Every structure is written in C-alpha cells, then in structure tokens.
Amino acid sequence: MLRWIIFIILYIALGVYTLQALRAVTRFPWVYFAYMAMSLLVLGNFIYQFTLGDNPGRVLSVPKSYAFGFLLAMLSFKAITIIFLFSEDIFRFISALYLKINGTPKFFNFPERRRFLSVLALGIAALPFSALLYGMYRGKYNFKVLRYNLEFEDLPDGFDGYQITQISDVHSGSFDNREKIEYAIDLINQQKSDLLLFTGDLVNNKAEEMLPWKDLFATLHAKDGKYSILGNHDYGDYVEWDTEELKRNNLEQLKDLQQEIGFELLLNESRYLTKGNDKIALIGVENWGRGGFKKAGDLNKATAQIMEKDFKILMSHDPSHWEDEVLKHPYHYHLTLSGHTHGMQFGIEIPGWIKWSPVKWRYKYWAGVYEELGQMINVNRGFGFLGYPGRVGIWPEITVITLKKKPLT
C-alpha cells in the first residue's frame, strides 16, 4: 500500500509540474482541465487494473497491458517536459539569486517562464507520446519479413539454397486482433520455406492463452516440417500457482498444444534433416538464460546423437546462451537461432544507417545476424509483444534465411 501511495504522490506531482508548461503556452482553462482529466484517468485505470480488475496480481492480461501502455506514454510526456522545465528553473533560480545579491530587486523574484521553451518542451514530449500510442494502435502488428542469405563453406551441397523461416516470441496471451494474426500466418505461409522453426515463448504464462489461436497456428506449413523449443515464459515461472502439480500440468498442456499445432518440440534433442545423401543436424535446447532466467538447456544432452563434423543448426531461445556457452562448446554450431529480447519493442532502425535500442545495454546480441568465431546467430525480434502492448521502431519479425554454399576462392 505504501508503494502505491508514494507512486500516486509522485505521479500527481509530476503532473502539476508539467502543467506549468501548458500555462506558459496557452491561457485557455479547458486545456488545463483536459490534460488533468486525461492524466487522472490514465492513473485511475492503471490502479484499477492492477488492484481490483478481473485479473489482479502478476499475470498480465490485455486490459492490464493497455493500462501499463497508456501510463508509459503519459509518463514519457511528463518526463521529457520536466527535463526542460527543471533546466529552465535552475537558470531562473540562478538569475534571481544573482539579481538579489546585486540588490536589484527588493524581493527574491523568479523571472517568468519563457513561452518558447515551454512550446519546445511540449513539442518534443509529444513525439514519444504519439509514438507510444501509435505503437499500441498499429505498430504491434506491423509485421516485417526480413531476409538473409547466409554462406557456409562446409554446407552440404544438397542444402544449397535451403530456406528456413524462423518465428519467435509469439506471446499469444497478448493478442487482441484475430484479423491481424490471420494476416501474419498467411504471410509466413507465403514464404513457402523448406523448414519452419519456432524459438520459444508461445504464451505469456499459461497454456490456455494459446487455445483461441490454436486453429490459426495449426495452418502453418513447411515442406520439411515444423520444429519448436521452449522459452522462459513457457514454463509458467511467472505465475503464483496454488500447487506445483498445477504448474507441471500447465507445462504438459503447453507441450500437447505444440503437438496439436503441428510443431515437433525439441527438448534438449536433435534431429537429422536429409536431402539425398546429404544431411544437417537440427538441435533444440530448453531455455538457458543468464541473469536469473531458467537454465534448463543442456547442449551435451542435445548433441549426444550427432557427430562433431555435422553441419549444425541450433535453436536456443536466449542469445546469452550463445555468448556464454555455445561459442565455447567443443562442437562448432554453424547457425544458432534465438529470440527473447524483442528488441525491447522500442528503438530506431534504418537499414545501413542505424540500429539502436535500449536493450543493447543488456544483451550484446539483440537483433539480427551476428558472427563470432566463424559461427552465426540470428536474434529474431519477436512475433508478438509483452508488457507494453505495442512496438515502436522495432517491428514484429518473420525471418527468412537461405543457406548458401560459399564458393571456394
């Protein structure tokens, strides 16, 4: 309760401070009242959804996600405005102090706020505010197909030109638009890939989240099959279960759902894919992540039935596994496919110019293709979304990878 009281006081204080910029820009009272009403409505909805709503507690429902999203947009607007106002107030204080010391005014008076600076502050603050609202309205379903041609010297000849579609981080419990998901499923099938690989996080927390979408995902197809692994959210670790048995049953239900959809779930296992006399090894490990995430992945167990010389494709949900274990493993993993980061669902990407997201401060390998020690990884930006119900600049991704035989020089 104390945390809520402190949060409410801080939120209202920030709102009152931001109101000073509006007062400097316009003299229409209805603008002030509209701002205050919207600010309080966002706060009230957030408190309601996280305390008295239909789904209180840690589990994120769609209404709770939107409540968080609107709060995030409002806080970003206030924070940026306050940065300008606070900077100006420091200057105003120094100016008033200087004049007082020199005996110019009889009393200690602050100079008036400069209207131009308030207009600038509100204008800049409106950019992330609008972007976050757009991200919730359209950005989260702005699916992009990203294509990569990856060359390997020791790729078996039969797999030259072999096409793989990768999706990751579905987070079906966050979906709220069936038409958009139907479009995305059709987009995946339009790629007509040889292989479809899903690299974890089918749900946010509970297997039941996937039930409304099971029939759609069952229509996914690829010539040589569909394979999947588990992500950290698939284990139900972020739910306060009444009993351990309920948690175990939830995981078993999710495994059954994957089978019903048509995915072959690899749990620290491997399979051979063949083309004539040529073959490549497909390996799938359970989740392994640093920083408190579940470490159920076992590379040695997963590769017990394959040979060191085999061409290998590894599915591992968290890219920190590649950095911490895969690269150091005695076996050479030609290509690893991961997800997990979502690109933080926020950033700036202009191909060939800039690729930036705050998530880079946590994950060295956070989006796209990287190469280290002659081994490659693709970190998929995610199909769905979690927490903030939107995406800004980092769009939902369908990856299409074509394996190519590197010409001998």
DSSP 320-365: HHIIIIITTSSS--SEEEE--SGGGGB-EEETTTEEE-GGGGT-SS
- Rounded to an integer, what distance in angstroms lies between the CA atom of residue 250 and that of residue 301? 24
Burial class (CB in 10 A: 0-12, 13-18, 19+), 35: middle
Identify whether residues 164 and 32 lie together within a single domain. no
**Strands 348-350 and 354-356, sheet pairing:** antiparallel
Q: Counting beta carbons within 10 angstroms of the beta carbon of residue 304, is it exposed (0 to 12), middle (13 to 18) or buried (19 or more)? A: exposed
The verdict on 252 and 129 lying in the same domain is no
- Is residue 252 domain-shared with residue 378, that is, in the same domain? yes
Helix (H) or strand (E) holding 229: none
Q: How far apart are CA 355 and CA 348, in angstroms?
A: 6
Q: Name the domain boundary from 137, 160, 193.
A: 137
Q: Kindly state the helix (H) or strand (E) to which residue 30 belongs, with its residue range.
A: helix 29-51
> How many alpha carbons fall within 13 Å on the CB side of residue 134?
12
**Residue 25, CA distances (Å) to 13, 37, 120 in order:** 20, 18, 10
Q: 130, 147, 72: which is closest to 385 by C-alpha? A: 72
pLDDT at residue 118 in the model: 82
All residues at 6 or more sequence positions from 274 whose CB lies less than 8 Å from its CB, including other chains: 158
User: Strand 397-405 vs strand 144-152: parallel, antiparallel, or unpaired?
Assistant: parallel
96 and 200 co-located in one domain: no
Structural domains in the chain (count): 2
Q: Are 72 and 388 in contact (CB under 8 A)?
A: yes
Question: What amino acid occupies position 126?
Answer: A
Question: Final residue of a domain: which of 87, 116, 137?
Answer: 137
Same domain, 176 and 115: no
165 has which bridge partners?
A: 196, 400
Please state, in angstroms and rounded to a whole number, the distance separating the CA atoms of residues 126 and 80: 9
For residues 104 and 174, state if they share a domain. no
* Structure tokens belonging to residue 163: 């096409």
List of residues 6+ apart from 140 with CB closer than 8 A: 345, 385, 389, 390, 391, 396
Same domain, 153 and 132: no
| pLDDT, one tens digit for every residue, the chain (409 residues) | 788 899 999 999 989 888 888 888 888 889 889 999 999 999 999 999 888 866 655 567 889 999 999 999 999 999 999 988 877 677 666 666 665 566 655 555 555 667 778 888 889 999 999 999 999 999 999 999 999 999 999 999 999 999 999 999 999 999 999 999 999 999 999 999 999 999 999 999 999 999 999 999 999 999 999 999 999 999 999 998 999 999 999 999 999 999 999 999 999 999 999 999 999 999 999 999 998 899 999 999 999 999 999 999 999 999 999 999 999 999 999 999 999 999 999 999 988 889 999 999 999 999 999 999 999 999 999 999 999 999 999 999 999 999 999 887 6
Q: What is the pLDDT of residue 94?
A: 67
Contact 347, 121 (CB under 8 A): no
Residue 124 CB coordination number (10 Å) = 15
Give the span between the Cα atoms of 409 and 220, in whole angstroms: 39
Same domain, 114 and 146: no
- Counting Cα atoms < 13 Å in the Cβ hemisphere of 208 gives 6
Structure confidence at residue 120 (pLDDT)? 86
Residue 155's CATH number? 3.60.21.10
* Final residue in a domain of this structure, among 112, 137, 162: 137
Based on the domain organization, do 343 and 282 belong to the same domain? yes
Beta strands in 306-396 (DSSP E): 312-315, 335-338, 348-350, 354-356, 368-372, 375-379
Same domain, 380 and 306: yes
SS3 assignment, position 94:
helix
Instruction: State the residue range of the domain holding 85.
Output: 2-137
Q: Write down the residue that tokens 């316009």 correspond to.
A: 26
Residues 229 and 301 in one domain: yes
User: What size, in residues, is the chain?
Assistant: 409
Distant-in-sequence, close-in-space partners of 8: CB < 8 Å, separation ≥ 6: 43, 47
What pLDDT is recorded for position 351?
A: 84
Say whether both 158 and 133 belong to one domain: no
Q: Are 270 and 283 in contact (CB under 8 A)?
A: yes
